[in-house]
Amino acid sequence: PGSRSYTGLVEDCCCDYETAGSLNEQVLHPILRELVKTPFFRYFKVKLWCDCPFWPDDGMCHLRDCSVCECQESEFPEPFKKSSGVLSADDVICQEGKPQAAVDRTLDDKIFNGWIEIDNPWTYDDETDNTAMTYVNLQLNPERYTGYAGPSAQRIWAAVYQENCPQYPSEDLCHEKKVMYKLISGLHSSISVHIASDYLLDAFANLWGQNLELLYDRVWKHPDHVRNLYFVYLFVLRAVTKAADYLEQAEYNTGNPIEDLKTQSLVRQLLYNPKLLSACPVPFDEAKLWQGENGPELKQQIQQQFRNISAVMNCVGCEKCRLWGKLQVNGLATALKILFSVDGENNQNQPLQLQRNEVIALFNLLNRLSESIKFVHDMEPLMEKMERHD
């Protein structure tokens, strides 16, 4: 419909834009939106301190809307805490000075039934290292406009693209590298969409709202930015559905039986959704990758590049952007792990093992992408109008 430049099948994927857009809007987004509010999915464990291996001067946040509100002590699920966890005064310091944003720096030991601690080869952070980790309530810290921009932000994006594919968009680039580029670009589009959908319109009045010019300029005007957003969404959706049996049986206990049953039910509704299974049963065909004769080396190389991208996230100079950057790159690394580290050429018969935090990152990433697709889909008529006047 309209003049939009993305129609037909999403590249490398098994479903078209129209189907993906309406499936998201009518079926998946309503489930995901509820799922990420549940206690299991709203607390993300993260090392927020700047631990930048590249530019030691970076990583400090001086912007008002940038700092992160961590968990309220009282609402923090019991099983997420250390069994002996007693909070000291230092543990409950609020970074923004608001009492409701107290920090809980207690950490989970191995008290999660069914959850393991294992390193993910696609990430830089050592997932088993609990030092300086903190829990963040994602619902209190929406990804939105923060004012983070300028040389620091540009430096990060440039490093991410440079790391992945120095010669892009050269035609010589192999298929696998193009896939990696599209994942990063799609994530970049999604971040821009969130900035546009929740923007500080008037700082004095503290008025927040939509910034459609920003959406048009950064995303809509560049058809590949929109296409890559759909691509990364279907890629992550494929990872989630591929791991369906594992995810269905996982432990979602937070000590609140009513909420935990709801979480389990929503997870099932998502994984075995009849509409999803009939409209788009295999959203991305990962079997086509790493088939060339240098497949295993290429996979190693790309894995290393992705680890470097994950390391770059530690250098993001705005705490809230760093939180969401780390979460979403962790989510992507989890999708890559599901799709490529299991049943891979080097790992025959290796069973899938995910950490709780990886699952939290994966579903929150899918929700963020789903929100972005919905916003772009909803704004389509307005974007087309702006295009005609451009």
Q: Which residues are near ligand FAD by CB under 6 A?
A: 143, 145-146, 148-149, 153-154, 156-157, 185, 188-189, 191-192, 195, 218, 225, 228, 316, 320-321, 324-325
Residue placing its CB nearer to ligand FAD in the complex, 31 or 316: 316
Helices (H), 106-222: 151-164, 175-197, 212-215
318 vs 378: CA distance, rounded Å: 29
Residue placing its CB nearer to ligand FAD in the complex, 264 or 334: 334
- Nearest-CA neighbor of 310 among 340, 339, 334? 334
Q: How far is the CB of 362 from ligand FAD (least distance, A)?
A: 18
Residue placing its CB nearer to ligand FAD in the complex, 61 or 316: 316
Cα 140 to Cα 27, 101, 200, distances in angstroms: 25, 8, 17
Residue placing its CB nearer to ligand FAD in the complex, 276 or 312: 312
Q: How far is the CB of 20 from ligand FAD (least distance, A)?
A: 17
Q: Which residues are registered as beta bridge partners of 9?
A: 16
| Two tokens, residue 379 | 């704004």
Cα 112 from chain centroid? 23
- Nearest-CA neighbor of 58 among 322, 308, 316, 319? 316
* Residues ≥6 apart with Cβ < 8 Å to 343: 349, 350
Position 390, amino acid: D
10 vs 8: CA distance, rounded Å: 7
Cα 342 from chain centroid? 21
Q: Half-sphere exposure of residue 262, counting CA atoms within 13 Å on the CB side?
A: 17
Residue placing its CB nearer to ligand FAD in the complex, 180 or 271: 180
Residue placing its CB nearer to ligand FAD in the complex, 42 or 225: 225
Cis amide bond preceding 169, omega within 30: yes
Length of the chain: 390
Q: How far is the CB of 76 from ligand FAD (least distance, A)?
A: 24
Q: How far is the CB of 242 from ligand FAD (least distance, A)?
A: 25
Continuous segment of H or E residues that includes residue 200: strand 199-202
Residue placing its CB nearer to ligand FAD in the complex, 54 or 272: 54
| Two tokens, residue 80 | 């997420």
176 vs 298: CA distance, rounded Å: 8
Cα 329 from chain centroid? 6
DSSP 284: B
Q: How far is the CB of 141 from ligand FAD (least distance, A)?
A: 10
Residue placing its CB nearer to ligand FAD in the complex, 187 or 271: 187
Residue placing its CB nearer to ligand FAD in the complex, 116 or 207: 207
DSSP 147: -
Count of CB atoms situated within 10 Å of the CB of 87: 15
Q: How far is the CB of 5 from ligand FAD (least distance, A)?
A: 15
Residue placing its CB nearer to ligand FAD in the complex, 189 or 330: 189
Q: How far is the CB of 252 from ligand FAD (least distance, A)?
A: 27
Q: How far is the CB of 279 from ligand FAD (least distance, A)?
A: 26
Q: How far is the CB of 94 from ligand FAD (least distance, A)?
A: 20
Count of CB atoms situated within 10 Å of the CB of 390: 9
Residue placing its CB nearer to ligand FAD in the complex, 108 or 125: 125
Q: How far is the CB of 22 from ligand FAD (least distance, A)?
A: 23
Q: How far is the CB of 37 from ligand FAD (least distance, A)?
A: 19
